[in-house]
Structure formats: structure tokens, C-alpha cells
Amino acid sequence: MAVSTCSNKSLFFSLPKFSSSSNLSFNPYINLPCSEPISLLSLSTHFSKPLNPRSKSIKSTDLNLPENPTLPKTLKSRLANGETLYGLFLLSFSPTLAEIAGLAGYDFVVVDMEHGPGGISDALPCLHALAATGTSAILRLPESTAAWAKKALDIGPQGIMFPMIENSKSAKKAVSFCRFPPGGVRGSAHTLVRASNYGINDGYLANYEEELLIMCQVESEEGVKKIEEIAAVDGVDCIQMGPLDLSASLGYLWDPGNKKVRQVVREAEKGVLEKKNGGGAYLGGFAMPHDGAEQLRMRGYRMVSGAVDLGLFRSAVVEDVKRFKMNLMNGSDDDGEDDKVKDEKYWSE
């Protein structure tokens, strides 16, 4: 059970990450792992005192606590522990696809407000769905401004991605958008917003900086020239390479696998990785047809995005239609197909 304590001794729970082989089931009434579903009304049997379902918080004095409660793992703590994280970009803004992605086992899902059609209110149901699976959500902003950052942070993602960062000045501004004064310029409504559990989490202000992953996307010729200074900015946790925009910036819009583009990317990667040895940012990126997820991992990328939800769906439906039409052209029928069907999955699988 993952718990965190606050200054007023209030104690809050968060859902840990479980593998698909875990025997634990998710309890929809409260974020606790359990071997069988339990309701809020029966929850008091797990504690030394009955709980009031209408109470704002659960006091530590009301609980039989383990001696050394373990804090939930954040993206930042997992990276610090040496993990390489694998994620998906969500452009559909479908809570159902977000939930499936979380259940599938992705370490993080990027809800993309830059190229996807949705905004903050569309992203929120996706964050709800991901939270139900214990999967970290990252919001990619449509532009790097204080207004967008404020609204995005208030709905409580575990990470935030700023597009088109081209120098240390813009990187420092991005970090300032994420921090409350005097360390930054973020507007404060922390007593009411989802990020602080609507004010129930009294420890939010003490912990939000160390828990939020700040990602700066470098995706232009100017940006890669300044990538080392961007990676060295205090508060920037990850440099996200943008190969498509970078190739366009270099004059190769239709050819991100061009030799010149790949050379520029390798030099940029080298700058980030060398700076990391001195305490700089981690390296993140997108898998491409010419540069797969495993290749990125082997070169030192610590956050790898392997696919986009719309791309996965597009490939599946195009292949499905193609298979059906090919069968029509070949004049295939059901005769002699029984043995083959036995070895194939049903369409619903």
C-alpha cells in the first residue's frame, strides 16, 4: 500500500503500478490494492476505527499502519532508479483507448494537446481513465505559455511536455510556468484543483516540484544547436527529441530518415547524454520506422514512445479491410477453412 504523509498528519493513498500477472484487483471505491472488492462502507473492517465516508481525509491515528510505508513511484523516481520507461502518445482523446493503454502496461501515456483535437476538458477524462489503471499521464501542450501550463498542471498530470524549446531562456521560462512564486509564475488555485486532490492533499505544495516531470521538446535546427544548454537548465528533467519537426526544419519534411537528419540527431543525443553525466536532463524520443524503440533504448534514451493510438488503429483497420478484399478477389469461401479458424483468434480478440 502506497501512502504519503503531510504536515497535519493526514494520510493519503495512491494506486501502485501492478503487472498483469498480479493477483491484486483494483477497488473502484478507494485507491487501495485488494484481493477482493471492498466497498467504502465495509472498509472500516480494515482499520482500527470505523471511517466516516463523508470525512475529508483519513487521519493516521485511524489506521493500522505498516512500520515503513513506501511512497508511490513517480516518473522521476523511476528514472532516478535507472529504469527505461516505455510510453504511448494519445491523439484520439478517447478515455477508452487511454484505459486500454494503461491496462496494457505502458509506463506512461502522453495526452497530446498539440496535434490532437482536444483541449483541457477533453484531456481530463483521459487522465481519469489512466489514474484508474495506475498509469502516469503526461500532457503535451499546444504551445509553451504560462496560461496553457497553468490549466494543464491544475488537472494533475504526472508530467508536462513543452513543445518547440529552442534555447535556455525558453527552457527557464517553461520551468517557471510550473512553479509557484517566488520560484516561478504559476497561478495558484491549489486549494481547489484536481492536482491537489481538490485541496484534500495538504502536502501538495511541499511535494509537487519533486513529483512533476518537466519535459522540453527540442525539434528545430536552432534547438539542437543549443541542446546542451537546454539540458543543463535547473528543473528540466527530460529532453524530448522531435524527429519529424526537426527534419522539416532541416529541409527534409518527407525524409526524417535522411542521412543528414540522422547525423544531426546523433550529435544532439550526444550533447544531452554528456550533459547528463554532470546532472543534466534525461533523453526521450519517438520510435520511427528507421529508428525503432529498441535502438533508442540502446543509445541511451530513458523515455521511449513507441507508438501513437491513431497510428495503431489505422494500421489495424487498413489491414483488416485489405484482408477482406483480398479474399473477395481470390474467390475464397468457407470450404476447408475450419482447420485454419481453429488456429486464429476471433475478431474480438
CB contact at 8 A, 95 and 125: yes
User: What is the pLDDT, as a whole number, of residue 339?
Assistant: 53
Cell of 65: 499502519
CB contact at 8 A, 160 and 216: no
Domain 75-315 part of CATH 3.20.20.60: yes
Cell of 143: 504551445
User: What is the pLDDT, as a whole number, of residue 169?
Assistant: 98
CB contact at 8 A, 250 and 260: yes
For residue 274, the Cα-to-chain-centroid distance in whole angstroms is 25
Burial readout 318-338 (b: 16 or more C-beta within 10 A, e: otherwise): eeeeeeeeeeeeeeeeeeeee
Q: What is the pTM of this model?
A: 0.77
Q: Phi-psi category of 178—alpha, beta or left, where left has phi over 0 and alpha has psi -120 to 50?
A: alpha
Q: How many CB atoms lie within 10 A of CB 39?
A: 11
Cell of 201: 492533499
Closest CA to 189 of 211, 206, 204: 204
Q: One digit per residue, pLDDT tens: the chain, 349 residues?
A: 444 444 443 344 444 444 444 443 333 333 434 434 434 334 333 433 344 433 344 443 444 434 444 456 899 999 999 999 999 999 999 999 999 999 999 999 999 999 999 999 999 999 999 999 999 999 999 999 999 999 999 999 999 999 999 999 999 999 999 999 999 999 999 999 999 999 999 999 999 999 999 999 999 999 999 999 999 999 999 999 999 999 999 999 989 999 999 999 999 999 999 988 778 999 999 999 999 999 999 999 999 999 999 999 999 999 999 999 999 988 765 555 555 555 555 444 4
The DSSP 8-state label assigned to residue 70 in this structure reads B
Which position among 46, 115, 128, 190 bears the catalytic label?
115
User: What is the pLDDT, as a whole number, of residue 259?
Assistant: 95
43 DSSP β-pair partners: none
Q: CA-to-CA distance for 272 and 282, rounded, in angstroms?
A: 7
User: What is the pLDDT, as a whole number, of residue 343?
Assistant: 54
Cell of 241: 527529441
Integer CA distances (angstroms), 91 to 121, 140, 248, 332, in order: 14, 10, 21, 37
User: What is the pLDDT, as a whole number, of residue 334?
Assistant: 54
CB contact at 8 A, 89 and 110: yes
DSSP assignment string, 169-182:
HHHHHHHHHTS-TT
Length of the chain: 349
| Residue 191, C-beta contacts closer than 8 angstroms, at least 6 positions apart | 199
Q: CA-to-CA distance for 120 and 18, rounded, in angstroms?
A: 28
| Residue 186, C-beta contacts closer than 8 angstroms, at least 6 positions apart | 146, 149, 150, 153, 176, 177, 178, 179, 180
For residue 64, give the amino acid letter.
N
Q: What is the C-alpha radius of gyration for the chain, rounded to an integer number of angstroms?
A: 23
CB contact at 8 A, 144 and 174: yes
Half-sphere exposure of 226 (CA within 13 A, CB side): 17
Q: Phi-psi category of 251—alpha, beta or left, where left has phi over 0 and alpha has psi -120 to 50?
A: left
Is 46 among the residues known to form the active site?
A: no
SS3 5: strand
Angle between helices 146-154 and 168-177 (to 10 degrees): 40
Strand order in the sheet with 58-59: 2-5, 10-14, 58-59
Q: Quick one: CA dihedral 168, 174, 177, 179, positive or negative?
A: negative
